[in-house]
Amino acid sequence: MISELGGAGLRGRGGAAFPAHVKWAAVAAATGPKVVVANGEEGEPASAKDRWLLTHRPHLVLDGLLLAARTVGADRVVLYLAHPDTVTAAGRALDELRAAGALPTGVTIDVHVVEPSYVAGEETAACRSISGGPALPLAKPPRPHESGVGGAPTLVSNVETLAHAAWIARHGAAAYRSVGTPDSPGTTLVTLSGACARPGVYEVPFGLSVADLFASVGGGFTSSPVGFVMGGWFGGLLAAERATVTCCYEAVRAAGSGLGCAAITALRADEDPVAVAADIAAWYARESAAQCGVCVKGTASIRDALGALRDGRATGPEPANLARWGTALPRRGACAFLDGAATLARTVVTEFPVQVADRMRSVDHHYNPGGPA
């Protein structure tokens, strides 16, 4: 099964896009008791795909979870959830399997419910919470495949990744690769929102452009977008002319952003990208785990600089500082949380230079939500 996942080119759908077969192989090679965690916490505000999958296709997720346990030799599996509707749906699906005698013997199955937050979905935070600690990230190494839940080698997999693994087990790597692109094969769940006629969660093949996504499954734009918030809130902002970018990992990365959890928000014609970025930056500052000084200071500095631009309080160095933080801060924290804030800072300056310059020329401007920008 691990070689089949490698042949399919399946990447994790939690945001990092790490090759799934590499994680599975690392846990399979470990000794002693092992754990598999289905991560359905989904603390990303712009994404709804994991909740949709758990509430509408819970058995597909459970198929993938039990497949992973068999493949790596785990004797414990954990559904790591935050939202009440997913807990209810997963519990009902487990009861159905139990009634049908379809649950494996010798494997403990738990549902662990956590308070939702962005950092709670990070893999070490999941392991820490399940082990009885706070749902906060830990410095790596060790990584979960080395020491995870209770110190055991642990495979932490996003629920969508597990659903794809179950599909590949049934249909094979070649069928999976029959759609998508060579480097981003298969399909993915996207969450479309904002200036979208039919916002929602859709399964699409990799390789469509941003514009094609909204025109096809999204029913078109409700107004000419001024830009896009990419990868949930983790991929920063892209300008409207980037609508031709192909939705695959390599193309979005080459554009200076990230596909992440494949949530894309189209900004309405009356929205100000600087103001949107300032609001997201304030959220980053609030959501920080406050465990790394560089993250606490970095997210607060980005929040303050973008807030000053939005509110007409900029004093001059804000654009240069945002650009500098955008390149200096990634990979400085214990987890990737700070990277998202840094991408936001960088892309606002690079993708919307005219709007940023307008803010600098109008220091007396005060942002009025719902009014003219």
Which helix (H) or strand (E) segment holds residue 343: the answer is helix 337-351
Low-confidence residues of the chain: pLDDT under 50: 367-373
Question: Domain residues of the chain, as ranges?
Answer: 2-176, 187-267, 273-361
Tokens 């049934």 locate to 170
Q: pLDDT tens for residues 260-287?
A: 999 999 999 999 999 999 999 999 999 9
* Paired sense of beta strands 35-40 and 237-239, if any: unpaired
Local structure of 180: helix, strand or coil: strand
Comparing 2-176 with 273-361, is the CATH topology the same? Answer: no
What stretches of the chain adopt beta strand conformation (E)? 35-40, 76-81, 108-113, 154-158, 187-194, 200-205, 227-229, 237-239, 263-267
- The pTM of the full predicted model, rounded to 2 decimals, is 0.94
Local structure of 173: helix, strand or coil: helix
Q: Which of 330, 20, 305, 288 is nearest to 136 (CA)?
A: 288
Local structure of 148: helix, strand or coil: coil
Strand partners, 91: none
* Separation between Cα atoms, residue 74 and residue 67, nearest integer Å: 10
Residue 211 · residue 243 · CB < 8 Å: yes
Fold category of 273-361 in CATH: de novo design (two linked rop proteins) (1.20.1440)
Report the top-level CATH class of 187-267. alpha beta
Residue 361 pLDDT: 81
Report the top-level CATH class of 2-176. alpha beta
* Paired sense of beta strands 263-267 and 227-229, if any: antiparallel
* Separation between Cα atoms, residue 221 and residue 196, nearest integer Å: 5
Residues in the chain: 373
State yes or no: cis peptide before 141, omega within 30 of 0. Answer: yes
Residue 325 is encoded by which pair of tokens?
A: 């933080």
Local structure of 330: helix, strand or coil: coil
CA angle (233, 234, 236) in 5-degree steps: 75
**Could you count the other beta carbons within 10 Å of the beta carbon of residue 192?**
26
Local structure of 139: helix, strand or coil: coil
At 43, which amino acid appears? G
* Separation between Cα atoms, residue 32 and residue 119, nearest integer Å: 29
Give the phi and the psi of residue 205 in degrees, each rounded to 5: -75, 145
Residue 184 is encoded by which pair of tokens?
A: 């981003």
* Separation between Cα atoms, residue 259 and residue 253, nearest integer Å: 7
Residue 328 · residue 289 · CB < 8 Å: no
Name the DSSP class of 104: P
Residue 298 · residue 342 · CB < 8 Å: yes
Residue 117 · residue 79 · CB < 8 Å: no
Strand partners, 194: 266
* Separation between Cα atoms, residue 199 and residue 265, nearest integer Å: 9
State yes or no: cis peptide before 142, omega within 30 of 0. Answer: yes
Q: pLDDT tens for residues 129-187?
A: 999 999 999 989 999 999 999 999 999 999 999 999 999 999 999 999 999 999 999 99
Strand partners, 143: none
At 5, which amino acid appears? L
Contacts of 320 (CB under 8 A, 6+ apart): none
Residue 158 pLDDT: 98
* Separation between Cα atoms, residue 291 and residue 301, nearest integer Å: 16
Residue 371 pLDDT: 44
